[in-house]
Structure 1
Amino acid sequence: MAYILLILGFALLIKGADFFVEGASHIARALHVSPLLIGLTIVALGTSSPEATVSIVAALQESSGVSVGNVIGSNIFNITLVVGLTAYLNPLKVKSETVKKQIPFTLLASTALLIVISDKSLEHLSENLITRSDGFILLLFFGIFLYYLFEVAKNSREKVKQESSETKPISWGKNIALTIGGLAAIIIGGRLVVNNATDIAVSFGMSETLVGLTIVAVGTSLPELITSVTAAIKKEGEIAVGNIVGSNIFNILLVLGSASAISPLIVDSQVFVDVLLMIALTCVLLVFSRTNYTIGKLEGMTLVAAYVLYMVYIIMRN
């Protein structure tokens, strides 16, 4: 029964995120918002909502390993497999603003996470914790990121208005219903995934952190994968890149910030390797993005190979 409920939970997460993104994107376009900004905000928030739901539910149930592992695993999955497959299908054009500001902000968020989990090293405490005060610091960083996005929105709205002389009418009622219905499906699906994935993993003797880094991380990142691949096929590269970068920032600052503000999160010492790897992969993404402001097929396959090696490593490690 747990397996059926787990599959049902993933289905609700994926379909819910799909509806959320579709409804919210149509509304955003009607409001004359640029594709990159849609990817960074509406789409990133929608595809990150499964991670948010799962991590917050896990924090409420005192499953810290699932909560932390889910975010780190999802970010690594996004940088490697999502970017890699998307770039392989259709080379991704990267805006100079993404290279100069947004990816560096992802690095800043990742480094901030490394600092807040280093209690044993920095403060000589008995265990590593993301405390409530750490959570509020992460949320403060998220507030700064939101302010930056509002500035970008304000500067780009007039430009987009000038470029699109006419806007197709949209069904506001339908798109609002899709957005709200999708969010509801995401919340229900998140509960099902956390409860059943944890039960199954424990029955196999897996640690909560491994569950978060693998099963839950992949499951909650499927919306990012589906959305980015679809955007690449439709040649909407800006939405694909914005989705991935925005999702990673949301995951660290909003998701872990909110989860730890609700309930302090105990961090497994093994997670340090994963956080350092996440930072290193973000640096690789920055380097790849700077080469002609394009992530090509070869670079995409390199990132996919990196994810395969990472999965082999963490399964052997545990």
Structure 2
Amino acid sequence: MTISHLIAFTAGLLLLYYGAGWLVRGASTLARSLGLSPMVIGLTVVAFGTSAPELVVSLVSAVKGKSMIALGNVVGSNICNIALVLGLTAVFQPVKTSRIVITRDIPLMLAISAYLLLLSFNSVIGRIEGVTLFGGILAYTWFNYKVAVRVSRAMPGLVGEAAIVPPTNAGLMQKTWMQCLMIVGGTAGVVVGADLLVDAAVSVMSVLGVNEKFVGLTVVAFGTSVPELATSVVAAMKKEMDISLGNLVGSNVFNLLSVVGATAMVRPIAIAGGFVGSGLVVDYLVMMTISALPWVMMRGDLTISRRKGLILIGCYVAYVIFLIFKS
């Protein structure tokens, strides 16, 4: 891997990180200035905006004919979110969650993962299948909205306070033109960053002699998870736990439904070498197993302790080592 490739990869990561931040902040403040409630903003603008890196990277990969990078990005990002991001967060500060995440959100994530596994058995995720997945994210968002409305009526102020919406009291950000500029700049940053990241990943393939799946599951997946990783670790170090298991589970659901769905609608995702022959079935099962670990760990005290966080990190390290030796 040459210096130029490293520079391109680093530049892509930075553009993805800052571009996603600008996009979310600009869109959130614009939506608020237009009269939308924090609850609606949190469930739509922020939720879709934080999945922008995975979405754009997968779309760019599919358009460039690198469908295994696109799919590997989603599977690897989901593994990274639970094993590495949640694990590191818990090491710095134990993570607590609500019972609803254990009884509803994680089982839903596992059910969607199982559905994607079934769709992949014929070694291609077509446009119609992509429509069913993307339709799922619309239904998921609507369901969360209805639940949030019901909760807000029962406990006024709770949802609004819980919604993660960037502050709007910065002077220039109150101006519509600045909000629009941040949206445009953030979108451009994510798109250009994704293009640089995918090109750098393809270069890694040629230099190291590894396949698309390996690059998508490791390099690209880690790169698109950097925003969640940085946010979680910094918040944990400051003991400001504005990231939770529910946020990470929601991000994984968005990845499975919106990222894979939108990518397949743009261009069918062909699994090179076959779903079983390529070994991707093993990666799916690893994703589902790691996704189920928080459910097992938190059933009693609803907490991921430091020891449990180390176990999650160990699972991620073991998986990456397995991929390296396999490649």
From 101, 104, 107, the equivalent of 1:101 is: 104
Change (3 A) 1:152 1:164: closer
One-letter code aligned to 2:127: R
Give the TM-score, by structure 2 length: 0.84
1:229-244 alignment, distance < 5 Å: 229-237=233-241, 239-244=243-248
Residue 258 of structure 2 is aligned to residue 254 of structure 1: yes
The 8 Å contact of residues 297 and 304 in structure 2, kept in 1 or not, is answered as yes
From 165, 171, 174, the equivalent of 1:172 is: 174
The 8 Å contact of residues 68 and 271 in structure 2, kept in 1 or not, is answered as yes
Residue 157 of structure 2 is aligned to residue 161 of structure 1: yes
Residue 224 of structure 2 is aligned to residue 220 of structure 1: yes
From 262, 272, 281, the equivalent of 2:281 is: 272
1:118-137 alignment, distance < 5 Å: 118-119=121-122, 128-137=123-132
One-letter code aligned to 1:64: S
Distance 1:163 1:109 in 2: 26
Deviation track 1:150-204 (CA, whole Å, cap 9, x = no partner) reads 1133224443537989xx8634335554444323211110111112211232232
Distance 1:138 1:254 in 2: 7
The 8 Å contact of residues 117 and 129 in structure 1, kept in 2 or not, is answered as yes
Instruction: Give, in angstroms, the shift of residue 241 of structure 1.
Output: 2.4
Change (3 A) 1:24 1:103: farther
Distance 2:142 2:300 in 1: 29
One-letter code aligned to 1:283: A
Instruction: Give, in angstroms, the shift of residue 270 of structure 1.
Output: 0.9
Structure 1 unmatched runs, 5+ = 120-127
Distance 1:91 1:19 in 2: 29
Identical counterparts, % of pairs: 37
**1:150 corresponds to:** 145
Tell me how many residue pairs correspond in the alignment.
Answer: 306
Q: Which range is displaced more, 154-163 or 297-306?
A: 154-163
| Partner SS, residue 206 of structure 1 | coil
Structure 2 unmatched runs, 5+ = 162-166, 273-277
Residue 8 of structure 2 is aligned to residue 5 of structure 1: yes
**1:67 corresponds to:** 70
RMSD after superposition: 2.6
The 8 Å contact of residues 39 and 160 in structure 2, kept in 1 or not, is answered as no
Residue 50 of structure 2 is aligned to residue 54 of structure 1: no
Deviation track 1:11-54 (CA, whole Å, cap 9, x = no partner) reads 1011222333445566788965469x94x655443332111001
